[in-house]
Amino acid sequence: MEKFLPRSATPPHIVTLVIATATAAVSMNVFLPSLPGMAEYFRADYGVVQLAVSLYLAATAVLQLGIGPASDRFGRRPVMLTCFVIFILATIAALVAPNITVFLICRVMQAFAAAGMVLSRAIVRDTVGADEAASRIGYITMGMTLAPMLGPLIGGFLDELYGWKAAFYLILGFGLLSLLIVYLDLGETNNTPSSSMTAQVRNYPELFRARRFWGYTATAAMASGAFFAFLGGGPYVATEILDLTPSQYGMYFILISVGYMIGNFLSGRFSKRIGINPMMLAGNTLASLGLVLALVLFAVGFFHPMSLFGPSFFVGIGNGMTMPNANAGIVSVRPHLAGSASGLGGALQIGGGAALSVIAGAVLSPESGPFPLIWVMLVSSVLAIAASLYVIYVARQAGNI
């Protein structure tokens, strides 16, 4: 019976962190194909039902600000378990929601699944050094990339067979599995908890004064911002300009997910050997070169889906190389504030990325073609290069590189 008891004092297996991290991604996108059916079910406007996406993102950003410091104070294990219990209860409530208002409230509460993403980074940093942390975060991200890559496809089939609630039963099942695995395998890794939540908040200025923290955060925000911009404008370009069907868009989008997975693998394989800062710079440079290629292809009149998705494949690889290393840097600048740093950095990433998503969607029109989207993505990637160079400069000044 001992092997079935929770491991309350040992670090978790990397598969546990992959599953915990993937929970938020599964909740985010599995139900996307069901949005029209949900609008009909709740007799609500489609734009109102779409708030299930934007409110979830906003709540994820806000909750990270509390989840990180709470784990620094009370420990990673109890905070993650509590958040997953809230997530499961919110999912059950969503399944029986009588109207769209109650459903959207449940979606906000489902954002507690962000604990898996926030705390997995902090847990890794609790147990290993910065370069190895980047390697492990890369493998974790590579494993959980399957969720956003396959989620909409699975959700679409479930919706056609059983209706929109089938996707939420899948989310519920995944949440229960995650809770069980975390309970059995996640040992406490925060061996130096802060004295109180107020003491943790008082430590924020220490993070704010760390120039490398802001450099890593800006790198992550701008790199992920290019991807968020694609999420905001890519569907419009694909359907309105390149005449793709939604299913064709989904198939081409897999190229970006595969690229991201490859980049994660490269991070896992080489970050410990090469270092997190050179890997960030290389990833952002590759993404920028891919977007320059897209501009050239469209400029010469090659209006084909591969002119958008082919170069975006390299954006995926670049982001996969950048994000694990930038996130490892965020939680490594002040290791005793790893949870707070992960939460604050994650909130800024999502907030900045969501803003770029809105901008990308707003600047596109049939007359503009795909160029505004590509320019927004390119500017974001170039700013990520600048942030990476800033981190390298600061680190050299401090003698850390």
pLDDT at residue 131 in the model: 63
pTM of the predicted model as reported, rounded to 2 decimal places: 0.71
pLDDT in tens, 216-238: 889 988 988 888 787 767 777 87
Is the model's pLDDT at 395 over the cut of 60? yes
Contact 232, 221 (CB under 8 A): no
CA separation, residue 185 to residues 13, 121, 181, 224 (Å): 7, 16, 6, 30
Which ranges constitute the DSSP H helices of 145-194?
Answer: 146-162, 165-185
Domains, the chain, in order of start with CATH, read 7-193 (1.20.1250.20), 204-398 (1.20.1250.20)
DSSP string, 317-378: HHHHHHHHHHHHHHHHSSGGGHHHHHHHHHHHHHHHHHHHHHHHHHS--TTTTTHHHHHHHH
Q: How far apart are CA 226 and CA 291, in angstroms?
A: 10
Residue in the structure block whose two tokens are 């396959």: 150
pLDDT at residue 399 in the model: 60
pLDDT at residue 3 in the model: 46
Q: Sign (positive/negative) of CA torsion 332, 334, 340, 341? A: negative
Q: How far apart are CA 218 and CA 169, in angstroms?
A: 37
69 against 108, higher pLDDT: 108
Q: Would you give the DSSP letter of residue 241?
A: I
Q: Average the pLDDT over 323-352 and give the result.
A: 77
With cut-offs at 50, 70 and 90, classify the pLDDT of residue 382.
very high
pLDDT at residue 109 in the model: 95
Q: How far apart are CA 357 and CA 233, in angstroms?
A: 7
Least confident window among 31-35, 79-83, 88-92, 121-125: 31-35
Looking at the chain, the whole-number percentage of residues with pLDDT higher than 90 is 24
With cut-offs at 50, 70 and 90, classify the pLDDT of residue 4.
very low
The segment with the largest mean pLDDT, out of 120-124, 146-150, 169-173, 208-212, is 169-173
pLDDT in tens, 40-53: 888 887 667 767 87
Closest C-alpha to 91, from 64, 115, 109, 79: 109
- Non-local (6+) Cβ contacts of 337 within 8 A are 72, 200, 203, 206, 207
Q: Average the pLDDT over 276-305 and give the result.
A: 92
Q: How far apart are CA 211 and CA 329, in angstroms?
A: 12
